[in-house]
Amino acid sequence: MEQEKRRVVITGLGTVNPLGNNVKDFWEGIKSGRSGIGRITRFDVADYPAKIAGEVKDFDPSTFVDNREARRMDRFTLYAMGAALEAMNDAGLDPESLDHERFGVVLGNGIGGMESLEEAYFHLFEKGPRRIPVMTIPKLISNIAPGQIAIRLQAWGPCYTVVTACSSSADAIGEAAKWIQDGFADVMITGGTEAAITKMGIGGFCVLQTLATKFNDAPEKASRPFDKDRDGFVLSEGAGVLILEDYEYAKKRGAHIYAEFGGAGMTCDANHVTAPHPEGRGAILAMKVALSRAGMKPEDIDYVNAHGTSTHLNDATETKAIKAAFGEHAYKVKISSTKSMTGHCVGAAGGVEAIVSVLAIRDQFFPPTINLDEADPECDLDYVPHKGIYGKINAVMSNSLGFGGHNGILVLKKFVE
C-alpha cells in the first residue's frame, strides 16, 4: 500500500536581488512597482549592444561571512548563503536543534561561478597555468552553493544542485518537497541562485540576440513582458531561498507558516535548444502535471506568476500555453510577470518568484506587470498592468521555462489547518 505523502509547508523566506538584499525591501519594491534595472557598473559596456542589467546593489557579505571565507566563494554562492541565512532566521530555525540527518539543501543554478571562471581564464592566458587561482574549481562548480550552505548549517541530508537553465529553481523546490513528502527529510533549504552579470555572461547573451537593447538609455523601461515593444530580456542576478518543512514538524515547534506547497510539474519541450515549442507543448503538460499533483483544477488558481521574460517568443508562447492548460479560466485568472521589475535572474528566477507567490498569498495582492503600455495582440490575457491590486488569492501557479526546453511549474496554496 502506497504511503500517504506528508504535507509540505513554507516557513521561511530569504532573498538577494536587484530590488533588495532582504525580503522586506524586495517585497516593498514589488508592491510599489519599482524597477531594479540600471546601467551595468561592473565593467565597461561600450562594446556591448546591451548596456543594462539587474545588478544586486550594496551587497555586503561581511555581515555573514569573514573576508577570508568570502574570497573563497564566487558571487553566486555568497548570494545563496545570504539568502539562506535570512530564510533560516525568518523560519526561527536553529541549526543546532535540528536532526542533521533529516535536514538538506537543494538549490537551482543555471550557470555556476562564471565570474571565477573568467578570472581563471585571464590568469591562464596572461600569466600561464601555474597562476590560475588555487580555489578556481571549488568556486565555480554549480553544486558548491548548497555544499557551502550545508557545511555552514550542518545539513547532512540531501544536498545537490538542479541545473535546468531558467527553470532550475522551480525544479529544485519541487525536488526538495519530494524529500519531505516521502518521509526522508523534515526541513529543506531550497530555491536558487545566479550571478552571470559578467563580460562573458552579457556578451554571450548579446550574441544570441536575446537581451533588450532598445531601452539602454531608459533601463527601468527595458523589461516589458507582453508589451508590443518588448525586444528581449534583461539579465539579472541574485538568490531566492525558501524553507520547506513537514507540516507536523512545523506545527510541533510552533512555526509561522506562510503557505503550503501544492505540487510541481517538470517537463521538456524536446523541440529546440533556445526556443520554446511553438504551441507551448512542454509548458502545457507541466502546468497540467503540477495541478494534478496538487489535486487542483485550473479554476482553483487565482494568480499565475508568469515566466514572462519580455522576449517575443516566450511571452506569446506562454500566453498560448496558459490558454491551452486553463481553458476559459485563462481569461479570468490574473497573471503578471515580476521580471518586469527584477529582470531575469536565470537559475534564481524560480526561487525569487516563488517568494513573490508566497507573499502574494499572504497579503492577498496581485503584483503588477510594469511597462505594459500596449499589449502585443497575441498577449490578450489579464496581466495586471502598471499597478498591483488587492484581491482574493487562495492558490498561485509560478511558471519557469528555460533553454533546452525545460519547464518547471509550481503550485503554492494558502495554508489551512
Q: What does the DSSP assignment read for 161-177? A: EE--GGGHHHHHHHHHH
pLDDT at 3: 64
Q: Is 2's pLDDT higher than 60?
A: no
Cβ neighbour number for residue 222 with a 10 Å cutoff: 30
- Percentage, residues of the chain above pLDDT 70: 99
Give dist(CA 385, CA 369) in Å, integer. Answer: 5
Burial grade of 46 (CB within 10 A; 0-12, 13-18, 19 or more): exposed
Catalytic residue among 166, 206, 345, 379: 166
Cell, residue 262: 501544492
pLDDT-derived band at 1, boundaries 50, 70, 90: very low
pLDDT at 230: 98
Using the Cα atoms of residue 221, residue 223, residue 226 and residue 228 in order, give the sign of their dihedral: positive
Cell, residue 331: 481569461
Q: Is 4's pLDDT higher than 90?
A: no
Is residue 307 flagged as an active site residue? yes
Is residue 272 flagged as an active site residue? no
Pairing of strands 303-305, 103-108: unpaired
Domains of the chain (ranges plus CATH)? 8-252 (3.40.47.10), 264-413 (3.40.47.10)
The number of C-alpha atoms within 13 Å of 93 and in the hemisphere containing its C-beta is 32
Catalytic residue among 159, 206, 277, 344: 344
**The model's pTM:** 0.97
Contacts of 137 (CB under 8 A, 6+ apart): none
pLDDT in tens, 126-182: 999 999 999 999 999 999 999 999 999 999 999 999 999 999 999 999 999 999 999
Cβ neighbour number for residue 155 with a 10 Å cutoff: 25
pLDDT-derived band at 417, boundaries 50, 70, 90: confident
Q: Mean pLDDT throughout 354-374? A: 98
Task: Name residue, grid cell 544586486.
Answer: 56
Give dist(CA 213, CA 50) in Å, integer. Answer: 5
Give dist(CA 146, CA 241) in Å, integer. Answer: 11
Is residue 344 flagged as an active site residue? yes
Q: Is 330's pLDDT higher than 80?
A: yes
Instruction: For the chain, state the CA radius of gyration.
Output: 20
Catalytic residue among 159, 206, 277, 307: 307
Q: Mean pLDDT throughout 69-88? A: 98
Give dist(CA 316, CA 280) in Å, integer. Answer: 9
Give dist(CA 18, CA 281) in Å, integer. Answer: 32
